[in-house]
Structure formats: structure tokens, C-alpha cells
Amino acid sequence: MARLKRNSHLIIYRKYAKNLKFVMMGLCVAIITLVLPKQVRFRFEYEKGKIWMQKDLVSPYSFAIKKTNQEIEKDKQEILKSVLPIYQNNEETVQKSLESFNQDFDTRWKNSEIKDGLKKKYSLLGDRILKEIYERGIITPIKKYEHANSNYNFSLITNNIARQLNTADVFTLENALKYAENQISLIPDIKNKNWLLKLSNDHLQPNYVYDERLTTKLENDALNSISTTQGMVQKGELIVARGTNVSEEIYQKLESLRSAYEEDARVVGNSNLVLFGQFLLVGLVISLLIVFLYLFRKDIYYDNRQLSLILLIITGMLVGLSWAIKVKIPSLYYIPYCIVPIIIRILFDTRLALNIHLLVVLIAGFFIPNSFEFAFLQVTAGMVAIYSIKNLVKREQFLISALLILGNYLVAFLGISLIRNGSINDIDWLNFVPFIFSVLLSLLAYPLIYLFERLFGITSEVTLMELSNTNTKLLRDLAFKAPGTFQHSLQVANLAEAAIFKIGGNSLLIRAGALYHDIGKMDNPQYFIENQNKGTNPHDTLSYEQSAQIIIQHVNKGVEMARRYQIPEILIDFIRTHHGNTRVDYFYQSFLKNFPEKFVDENIFRYPGPIPFSKETAVLMLADSVEAASRSLKEPDVQNISDLVDRIINYKLDQNQLTDSNITLKDIETIKLIFKTMLMGIYHVRIEYNLHK
């Protein structure tokens, strides 16, 4: 019953799996459309310092000219300078200080050795000094108001009446202490001056207190009153003529027109139509991606798991862009756009990475100012990112790729700045800082690749590099338990990698596949000739059928072992297909020779398959057979090696082992030449040349 239920679920899944990709596609389009900024698009593109190449632009309505950010900032500074800081005259502080002085004076006088006849003189002098200081006032200066010099004007409020003073007219606490010391020193008959000075200093504190709340309120009120516009452009007025250079003044008028246009469209425009327009554009781009996959990558098109990953990456990038626009980050170039082509390139291939990067940039260009400049910068950077990791063989290529992307940004930024300004001195290098952060953030692609591999079961070239390390546990076990098989696997890896590199294919994938293709022989290594070094052959005690089954079983055992060690399925395919569905001919022919009268079930002597279904698995099959057969050559000369390679590969063709792999006859001839050349090098064969005079 459970099996029937499981089978029914499988039938339902297969029935609707084809439609699932369209559901995912629709969901992707819907999410991107909903999160993108809902703003109309100003129809004109322009840049400061460039020539206006479009028709004369006449103002369709009157609008105010906005000030530049620099002008507004300058106005703010001027306004802030005109607002005086507010200080409150705290008379209660003065009263308490004087009372406290008199009380402390009486207490300390009793404990002093000064004559009683001088008490009144000391008391009056201390009281007079404190009153003089407090009458002039003590403040604590605020650094932010100290500009060219340390003094500044301020407003002092006493009983709700304000008057303007300068910090030069009042005491700081330090100056007040010096004044008290100076006044006491002027009285000649005061003998114990330090006693009175210390007592006076203990009762000095600022009585003009900075009122931050009221000052901030006045500053904010003043800032809010700043006008953000300067002048008007009237309806019908010429803004810019064709062929005119876009100067600072014209640029500001165009910016003001764009803002007015977008604001007007936001108020009176139909937001549903804006949403529908975005839906059409995003839908078109995603549809083009699906068509590309159908035409050129059918394996991804029919694999909903891989397709969902691609749509997730695209959606994630555009959602991130929308968030950045919403929070108004200082520059949209902080966003690591190159992270998308890097991830797609490492997980899939170059063509797909470039295609997806172009589509993402096209969508983003609708919502970023100076879209052509943006597209140029990001397309070129994406191409550099993809090309720099075309053949990933070392982890250091990640850093090299980042440096190359940064170099591309630098060259493009410099070129655009020179075109715009016409002077290298006018380049604002601070505008390049976002590109540096963008490149640093793009390095996050590599932990994300690991995450996507685990979540979606995809094997990247980074993982293939790790698995190709012969120090991994499984390969160490192979080298220890079946050293002959291990050496055979290394030779097969070298042959296959050289061949696939020449005809075109994933050399890292085929090398990893070659290293693991015979791991099943670890279970019974002594039954395979390359591991027999004691002069005895265990097959001598077995029937031909039993021997054939032991040989054949290394494929199934290899698959089981690989899955137990969590080797990716893409490498397990090499284990399953490296013998295809060929026969174990030695034992099959021996059976026919020794038992001609018996009926033979050929399937007992035949590998289960499947046959190779990719260029890489096909090349591995050929390399495996050729390398194994070459070990039986007694005299490995040029002719023998050439005949051997031709015979083995032609036999595979005759047995229809390559019909499912996308390999051509031209590729096969190239493979033969590579195998012959490398085997001659392995066996140190010297090629004889005929010399003609």
C-alpha cells in the first residue's frame, strides 16, 4: 500500500513537473514587479558636460529650478552661522554659590590660624571677587561654534529678556580662577592668600548655561526655512538646444524638470499602468531567459531544481537593488552586481552567466540614473568577472578576479570622467570608493556558492577542486587498499583531461570523475589484475560466471561507496557509465571456448550501464579502456600503440557506446591522436623519422 501511494505521488509529480517551471517563472516576475520602485521613467538621458544630441527641449509647463546639493549645503552653513547659541542666566547658581561661600568661610575660619581681627577683611574680599566674576558671567564654551577664532557671539536670556554677548566679554572657568588669583594678589596686607584663593575657587561654577534644546529648535526652524529652489523656468521656455553642451546650469534645469515630471506623474498618473509596464518588461526579460535555456541548456530547462536556483539569484539581486533605492543609500554602485555572474559562472557555465548578467543589468538600468553609464560599467565588469574564472583551478583566482574587476571599474570610471570633465584635475576620486566596496562585497559570492551547493545539490568547480585532491579520505583509502587501481586512475585522469581540454569540455569535472571511477575495486582489489602482485590469480578457483560478476559488481559497489561518502551525483555518473553496457569479453569468450555446448546468458557477462550520456563521460570510457589495454602491450612501440588505440575506440563505436554522448567524429580523431601521443610519452617510445636529402 505504501509503495502504491509513493508511486502515485511520483506519477503526479512527473505530470505537473513541466508546469512547475512556469509557476516559478510567474512567481519570480510577480515578486520583482512588486518590489521595484513604482516611479515613472523620465524619457531623456543626459550627463553633465556632454552634448545634448536630442531635439530642442522646450519646457512643457512652468517649474522651479532646484538648487544643487552643494548650494543647499552652503546655505545651511550660512544659516547656522546666523543662529546664535542660547545661554540661560542661572541666577539661582549665583545665589547658592555666595551663600555657600559664607557658610564655608565661617567653618574654615574657626579651624585656621589667622587672627580674628582679619576675618571681616577676608570675608568681604572673597565676597567681592565672587560677585564681580558672577556679574560678568562664567560660561563653558561649545567647540562647534568656535570658527576662525575661539570667541563667538551668543544670546543670553535673563528673565526671558535676551541680549547679545561675545565669549570674549565673559569668563570661562579657567579665566575666572586666574581673575580671582590676580585680585587677591593685589591686596598687599593679605598674608594667607592661598587659603582665601582655594576657598573662592571652590565656589566658582558656570552661571551662563548652554540651552541645547532651545538652540537646536532655532537652528531647525532656520534650516526649514531655507528655499530649495532658485528661479523659475516658464512654460514654452527653451531649456536646451540640440548640440548644446550640458553645462552646470542646464543640467540643474534638466534635473528640476525630471523631478517635476516624476512628481506630476506620481500625483496624476495611473500607478496600475506603471505596475503593468514593469510587469511587461520583467516578464519579457525572464521569458528571454527561459527561451535561452530551452534552446541552449535543455538540461537546466528540464531541471526545476536548477531553474529555481537561477530565478532565486535573479530575484535576490533585484530585490536588493529595490531595497537600496528605497533606503536611499549614498550610491547605487555600492551594490555588488558582479556577484550574479560569478555565482552563475561557477555553478553553471560562461554563456549562461553572461546572458543572465545582461538581463539583470537591463532591468536595473530602468531604475538607476545615467542608465547607459551604469550599463557600460556593469556589463564590462561582469564580462571581466566571467572571463577571469573561465578555468577555475586555483582558489587564488577568486582574488585575482576581484582585482581584475576593480581594474575594469577604474579604467571605465577614469574614461567616463575624462569624457565628462575634459580634465583629470576635476575628477572626484571619492566617487570611486563605492566601486571598491562593491568588489569587496562580491567576494561574498564564494560562501554563497557553498550554501547553494548544499541547498540545491549542485556541484561547483570549487567542490571539484576539493574532490580532486588525492589526500581526501576516499582516495587515500584507494591508494592504500588498491594501489594498482589508484595508479591506473591517475593515468586515466591525465589522458582524459588532456583529451577533453583539446576537444572542449569541463577538464576539472573529468579529472575528478576519473579519480573516482574505479573506487568500487577497493572491496575486492585482488580480483583485478593491476593489484595482483603475488603471482596468484584468485579467478583460477572461480567459474567464469562468478569471475564476471565480481568484475561487474565493482560498478555497483563504487556507486554505493560514493553515495556513502556523499560524493556528488555528477561524479557518480562516471562510475555508472565508464563501462557502459559492454561485455566482460575475456570471461565471456573463455566460457564460449571451454563450454561450446552450453547455453550462455549474455547478460551475466554484461555491465548494467547506462552508456555515457555526455562528452566527459564518453571520453573517460575511452581513456579507461585504452589505458587498461596499454598495460598488456609487450612491445609498446609506435605501431602497436597506434593500432591499440584505434582498435579500442573503434570497438566502442561498433558497440554503440557513444550514441548518447554529444561527441563528433572529428572529436574522436582528436582523442585518438592525444591518446597515442601521451601513451608514447608514458612508455618512452622513440619516433623514427625518414630523412630525405
Q: Are 307 and 421 part of one and the same domain?
A: yes
Structural domain contains residue 5:
no
Query: Is the pLDDT reported for residue 14 higher than 90?
Result: no
The three cell numbers of residue 198 are: 582655594
| Single-letter amino acid, residue 638 | V
SS3 660: coil
pLDDT tens sequence across 79-103: 888 888 999 998 888 888 888 888 8
Last residue of a domain, one of 456, 490, 516: 456
485 and 542 together in one domain: yes
User: Do 431 and 472 fall into the same domain?
Assistant: no
Cell 557502459 belongs to 580
Query: What's the chain's Rg over C-alpha atoms?
Result: 43
Instruction: Assess whether 83 and 121 both reside in one domain.
Output: yes
β-sheet bridge partners, residue 233? 63
Last residue of one domain, picked from the residues 423, 456, 489: 456
Residue 394 lies in a domain: yes
List the domain range (segments joined by +) for residue 332: 270-456
Same domain, yes or no, for 550 and 636? yes
3-state secondary structure of 388: helix
Tally of residues, the chain: 693
399 and 522 share a domain?
Answer: no
* Cell numbers found for residue 270: 495611473
Give domain status of residue 514, yes or no.
Answer: yes
In this structure, the answer to whether residues 470 and 579 fall within a common structural domain is: yes
pTM of the model: 0.64
Pairing of strands 171-172, 138-139: parallel
Of 456, 480, 505, the residue at which a domain comes to its end is 456
Output the CA torsion sign for 333, 339, 345, 348. Answer: negative
**Average pLDDT estimate for 259-282:** 74
221 part of a folded domain: no
Instruction: Report the helix count and the strand count for the chain, using DSSP H and E.
Output: 27, 10
Asked if residue 72 belongs to a domain, the reply is no
Residues 289 and 394 in one domain: yes
pLDDT digits (tens, 9 = 90+) for 206-220: 989 999 899 889 889
100 assigned to some structural domain: yes
| Per-residue DSSP letter, 62 | -
Same domain, yes or no, for 87 and 198?
A: yes
Q: State mean pLDDT over 643-653.
A: 92
pLDDT confidence tier of residue 11, bands split at 50, 70 and 90: very low
Helix residue spans in 118-239 (DSSP H): 119-136, 173-185, 193-201, 212-224
Q: Total domain count for the chain? A: 3
Model pLDDT, residue 392? 59
Q: Are residues 489 and 402 in the same domain?
A: no
CA distances from 99 to 95, 203, 513 (A): 6, 10, 94
Asked if the model's pLDDT at residue 12 lies above 60, the reply is no
- Over residues 579-629, the pLDDT tens digits come to 999 888 888 788 888 887 777 777 888 898 899 999 999 999 999 999 988
Q: For residues 410 and 693, give the distance between their C-alpha atoms in angstroms, rounded to a whole number.
A: 60
User: Has residue 143 been placed in a domain?
Assistant: yes
Compute the distance between CA of residue 139 and CA of residue 135 in angstroms, rounded to an integer. Answer: 12
pLDDT tens digit sequence for 134-177: 888 989 888 888 765 678 888 999 888 889 988 888 998 888 88
Q: Are 319 and 32 in contact, with CB atoms under 8 Å apart?
A: yes
Residue 261 lies in a domain: no
pLDDT tens readout for residues 32-81: 999 888 766 666 777 777 777 778 888 887 888 888 778 888 888 888 88
CA separation, residue 173 to residues 8, 136, 138 (Å)? 90, 12, 6
- Res 354: pLDDT: 93
What pLDDT is recorded for position 634? 82
Whether residue 495 sits in one domain with residue 451: no
CATH number at residue 663: 1.10.3210
**pLDDT, mean over the chain:** 84
Note the pLDDT of residue 693.
31
**Same structural domain, 383 and 346:** yes
More confident: 572 or 595: 572
Average of per-residue pLDDT across 657-671: 91
